Structures are given as structure tokens and as C-alpha cells.
Amino acid sequence: MHVIEIVYVSALFAVVLSPIVQRICAWKIGSYSPSRVVAVAILFGSVALAITTFLFFGLPPVLHNMREFSADLPEKIPLLVSKIKHLPMADKLGLDSLSDKVRTAAESVGSYVLASFPKWAARILDVVTAIFLCIYFMLEGEHAYAYLLAIFRPRQRERLAATLLTAEQRMSKWLIGQGALMLILGVSSTIVFGLLHVRYFLLLGILMGLFNIVPVAGGIITILLVAAVAALDSWSKMAGVFIFYAIYLQIENGYLTPRIMKTSVDLMGLSVLVALLIGTALAGITGALVAVPTAALVAVLMDEYMVQKDAEAQALASEYKAPDPDDSPSV
């Protein structure tokens, strides 16, 4: 099962990254165009450079923040509870018992995170194996793909090839768009939290970006965590955190998402969340990593082969479609 996971992840990422390789192959430097081998080398060289830069400059302060956070949280919780007790109706929340429970949980989580680093490091071999498999899939995957399509009859083959091409495009666009949104939120959060002098701002900013892959719930959980950390210093810092996130949501929903994700896969937030839950339950971090692209693939296949497209089904679907503001009658 473990080997199948590695092969599946490698093949999926090869499919997702193939459009980027094709764009690199289309470059024109005089009369020279990069071959597929050179394009794959450029892509993975760029990724390796970005990861190395982050590990060298970004990882040490993040690990330092993580150690400080796990060590300070059990001591800071009573301070936060004492501040909350001054709020109206706070005495009815049972904060004393909650404080002990949260302190115990924080100690356990902090110990687990720090103790798990050796286990994560032990899986470096799996990551290296997956990278090499991904490279081979990108270089030779077209031959294997053509061979598999040859199993089907010509008419079925054309339909399946067109469907898989649609799935490839939608998966690639979703991942690139979602990655852009995660990067924008992570960078902007880190800058704003730093300007507000929020403790562990680098760690919290990165968490904001990473958890943005989970629709709605990811952002709410992380912003509440950041607000709690900011409240340890002052209510004004906590208010600043909430104001920043409210402004960012308006910018993301009104400007960024329509432009970055307008040609992306049309997956509902509920579908993404369910896919992440199922992927995590089946294969842990690896399952979460490939959950959304897999959901996009399944959605395309279901739309082509299972969803009824007759007039009655279309009419039923239109009944539950949200009304378009542009379709409202003019006065």
C-alpha cells in the first residue's frame, strides 16, 4: 500500500506539472527551444532552488518560533483566561476547568510536534523516490499513457482521452491558483503580523498560508489562533489581527479569487473539505496532499460518464442553481 501511494502521488504530480513543462518547451531563445528533458530539468531545478532558499533562510526562525510557542503556551493560557474573565458574562463560561484542559492539550501537542521531527526526517527517502518517479513519469509517461489508451476501442479511446485532458487542465489550474492564493495570504499575514509585533509572527504567517487550502474552516481556525496569541499582549493587537483578516477576505473574494481562480476547476468548498478529510483518513499527510486533485479527476469523470445530461436532468439542476445577480430584472 505504501508503494502504491508513492507511485500514485508521483504520477498525479507529473500530470499536474506537465502543462508547465509544455510551456517551458514552447520558449524561444533565438532558434533554440528547450527539449522536454531540459524543460523538466529547469522546472525541478527552480523548485529545488526555492526549497533550498526557504530551508536556509526561513526554516530556522520557524523552528525557533515553534519551540518558543510550544514552551510558552502552557504558561500563557492562565494570562489569557484572566483577561477573558474581565469581560461581561465571562464567569459563566467555566474558564477555570477549560484552562487546565487546554494547558494539558497544549503540552501534549507541543511535545508531539517536536518529537515527530525525526519521524518526518526518516521519510526523506520516500520523498526522493517520489521525485525521481515523477521525473520519469514526466519524461516517459506519454508512452505509457498512449499504451493504456490503446486498450480501448477507437471511439471510447477518443472520449476518454478528451475527458482525461480536461481533468489534467482543471487539476493543474486549481493547484496553481490555490498555491498563488496560499502564497499571497502567507506573505501578507507574515508582514502584517510582524508590523503588529505579534509573537511568533513568522510561524503564524506560514500557518495562515498553509491552512488556506481548507475552505472557510482553515482560515477561521488559524485567525482565531493568531488572535489568541495577540490577545496575550493586548486587545488592540487582537483587534488589529481581526481587522487585517476582514480586509483581506474582502480583497480575496472580490478581486483575487475571480482573477486567479476564474479558469480553475469548479469544485465546491464542501467537496474540497470532504476530499481532504477522506484523503487524510486514508493516507495521512500524503492523502491530504493529493486529495483535491483526485477530487477534481473524479468530478470530471463523473460529469462525463455518470451525470445525466438529458433535458429533465438539466431542468432539475437549474432549479437548485443560485440566481445570478446579473440576471435580476432591471427597474
For 249-264, the pLDDT digits (tens) are 899 888 887 777 655 5
Average pLDDT, the chain: 77
Q: CB under 8 Å, gap of 24 or more: what pairs does 241-246 form?
A: 241/193, 241/196, 241/198, 244/189, 244/192, 244/196, 245/219
Question: Is 220 part of any domain?
Answer: yes
Instruction: Indicate the helix (H) or strand (E) that contains 188.
Output: helix 154-195
Q: Decide: helix, strand or coil at residue 307.
A: coil
Q: How far is CA 158 from the centre of its chain?
A: 33
Confidence check: pLDDT of 14 > 80:
yes
Whether 109 is covered by a domain: the verdict is: no
In terms of Cβ atoms closer than 10 Å to its own Cβ (0-12, 13-18, 19+), residue 131 is middle
Domain span holding position 200 = 153-307
> pTM score, two decimals?
0.65
Q: Cβ–Cβ contacts within 10 Å for residue 286, how many? A: 19
**Unique residue bearing C-alpha cell 523516490:** 129
Q: Could you tell me if residue 206 is inside a domain?
A: yes
Q: How would residue 248 be classed by pLDDT, with cut points 50, 70 and 90?
A: very high
Residue recorded with cell 527552480:
46
The answer to whether residue 21 sits within a structural domain is no
**What pLDDT does 196 receive?**
92
Task: Give CA separation, 200 vs 51, 60, 226, in Å.
Answer: 21, 13, 9
Q: Is residue 260 part of a domain?
A: yes
51-55, 99-103, 174-178, 230-234: least confidently modelled range: 99-103
Residues 35, 21: Cα–Cα separation, whole Å: 10
Residue at 265 is within a domain: yes
Please give the tally of structural domains in the chain. 1
Residue 49 lies in a domain: no
Which DSSP letter does residue 29 get?
Answer: B
Read off the pLDDT of residues 287-307 as tens digits, 9 standing for 90 and up: 877 888 888 888 888 888 887
User: Residues 161-216: pLDDT tens digits?
Assistant: 888 888 888 887 777 888 888 899 999 999 999 999 998 888 889 889 888 877 66
